[in-house]
Amino acid sequence: MLVNTLLVADRGDEPHLKDHLRLITEPPPPLPDAATCRVAVIGLGYVGLPLVLGFAKASRAIGLDISKSKIEELRRGIDFTGEVNGEELRVADADFTTDTYALREADVVIVCVPTPVNSHNRPDYGPLLAASRTIGQHLKRGCVVVFESTVDPGTTEERCLPVIEQVSGLKEGVDFYLGYSPERINPGDPTRKLADIKKIVAGSTPAVTDFLEGLYSRVVNAGLFKATSIRVAEAAKILENTQRDVNIALMNQMMALFDKMGIRSTDVIAAAGSKWNFHHYRPGLVGGHCIAVDPYFLVDAGRRHGLAMELVAAARAVNEQTPHYLVEKLEEQFGARRNGLQGARILVLGRSFKEDCPDTRNSKCFPMMDAMWNRGAEVFNFDPVAFDDHFEGGRGTKIIDDPFAHGPYDAVIVTLTHTVFRHQFDAATLVSLAGKHAPLIDMRGSFDSPEVRDWFRYWRP
Ligand SMILES: NC(=O)c1ccc[n+]([C@@H]2O[C@H](COP(=O)([O-])OP(=O)(O)OC[C@H]3O[C@@H](n4cnc5c(N)ncnc54)[C@H](O)[C@@H]3O)[C@@H](O)[C@H]2O)c1
């Protein structure tokens, strides 16, 4: 080992020479104790908040966010994501802070910042690189840095690591360690929380992967999967989300074709699903900042590698078109009875991007409502679950708290069915809102019944 090291040093391999000599004089620090080490989480959103609370159970944890208002809310026991409850927050042994110096206390730093796309659907690595700079400024020797944000393969090692090393002046494998563990939580789903979902871990070396297995077993009961490399772990997560996007796009495209043929796609899926190897996907609006965003990272990666990624790109295009398909469907339901949507009062039930989840970011309700407004409709939106942390659209839409106070409407569109909608609405209440024979577009088919089919110009996929 020593001979090899000196041979490498002799070659005058400048960047490595210093590191090799350091390895002789100063061996790499040991990995922290996975069971008790102090964890800091950067980015306290849907992913980071449950994680920091999980780690706070074994030793005092640090939760860092750039948003002052978020930190103040968390200190007051308020979590607008609804992923953790106020009591959990109040009793958590965690410091919520915007002060980056807090990272100096951490044995492990886990990054859970957003990975959005820009207005041209190109990856925006800005938050990741900003977090990497912050880590570099406060990194201590022996620390393990883990990225959880969803990225295209290579991002952790080729984009984030160089920033950390440059800013800190420390070297991965010599002074600190690197890992990746994609998050797979399913916001709005109380049956599959962080602890219930098997988690993938990968370190820069097998020893780091073993450490991550021990570390995450503190918060995950469903088991860990050790990926063979950081890139494999990165690729696995983005593949999961892209697979979902492509399959939903197929269902959305089939929905449009079957509809023209007078066939209900739900009936087709039920029939096809009687075969054991049919995959169950439904048509729907694909929004949010995971499934509707991550495939663009692969399209961009394909571009860099000379691949067009036609299937992935086409699936994105189909799913982006689906809100407009619903608007055309509504116009079709009105038929010759009126001049398109001009002057029509439309009630849209649902604004968040998925059932029982408050997140409205990149919700496809917004382009749908914009398109109706552009065609002259008066659009009303009711969603008691939605929390508009970043209001993104629906320019002409009136956000209302009580749909009964603003009716009657000429048509109703149910984009998704929160549990509360099932309790609040039925055939009779819907008729009281829009009257008999009004168009009712029910994207999830939740209100399908003989009465509803009889009373409304009803359409479901
Ligand atoms: N939400 C999900 O369902 C989900 C599931 C799996 C993976 N992911 C991935 O996890 C990552 C985080 O997603 P999320 O939904 O938790 O995002 P989020 O927007 O809910 O939370 C991110 C937090 O990071 C903070 N932040 C941004 N830049 C920062 C910086 N430089 N330093 C400190 N804090 C910073 C923001 O203020 C915000 O509070 C993304 O890559 C996402 O694709 C999300």
Is residue 37 flagged as an active site residue? no
31-228 shares its CATH topology with 294-459:
yes
Distance from the alpha carbon of residue 176 to the mean position of ligand 1, in angstroms: 24
* CA 324 to centroid of chain Cα atoms: 23
Distances (CA, A) of 245 to 126, 161, 238, 351, 405: 24, 29, 11, 20, 37
pLDDT for residue 12: 43
Mean pLDDT by 10 residues, the chain (461 residues): 42 59 80 97 96 94 97 91 86 95 98 96 98 98 98 98 98 97 89 94 98 98 98 98 98 97 96 96 94 98 97 98 96 83 96 92 94 95 86 76 95 96 95 94 95 95 95
pLDDT for residue 391: 56
CA-to-CA distance for 40 and 63, rounded, in angstroms?
A: 6
Distance from the alpha carbon of residue 114 to the mean position of ligand 1, in angstroms: 4
- Indicate the class that CATH gives domain 294-459: alpha beta
SS3 205: coil
CATH superfamily of domain region 31-228: NAD(P)-binding Rossmann-like Domain (3.40.50.720)
pTM of the predicted model as reported, rounded to 2 decimal places: 0.92
β strands within 329-418, DSSP E: 345-349, 378-382, 398-399, 411-414
For residue 66 and ligand 1, the question of a CB distance below 6 A is answered with: yes
Q: What is the DSSP letter of 347?
A: E
Mutate to test the pocket of ligand 1, among 46, 62, 134, 149 (most ligand atoms within 8 A of CB): 46
pLDDT for residue 5: 45
Whether the Cβ atoms of residue 258 and residue 233 lie closer than 8 Å to each other: no
Distance from the alpha carbon of residue 363 to the mean position of ligand 1, in angstroms: 16
Out of 37, 112, 143, 290, pick the active-site residue: 290
pLDDT for residue 307: 97
Domain chopping of the chain, boundaries: 1-29, 31-228, 294-459
β strands within 374-444, DSSP E: 378-382, 398-399, 411-414, 439-442
Q: Is 388 left (phi over 0), alpha (psi -120 to 50) or beta?
A: beta
Mutate to test the pocket of ligand 1, among 83, 183, 387, 390 (most ligand atoms within 8 A of CB): 183
Residue nearest to ligand 1 atom 21, measured at CA = 45
350: phi then psi, degrees, rounded to nearest 5: 105, 135
CA-to-CA distance for 83 and 256, rounded, in angstroms?
A: 35
β strands within 127-256, DSSP E: 144-147, 177-180, 199-203, 224-226
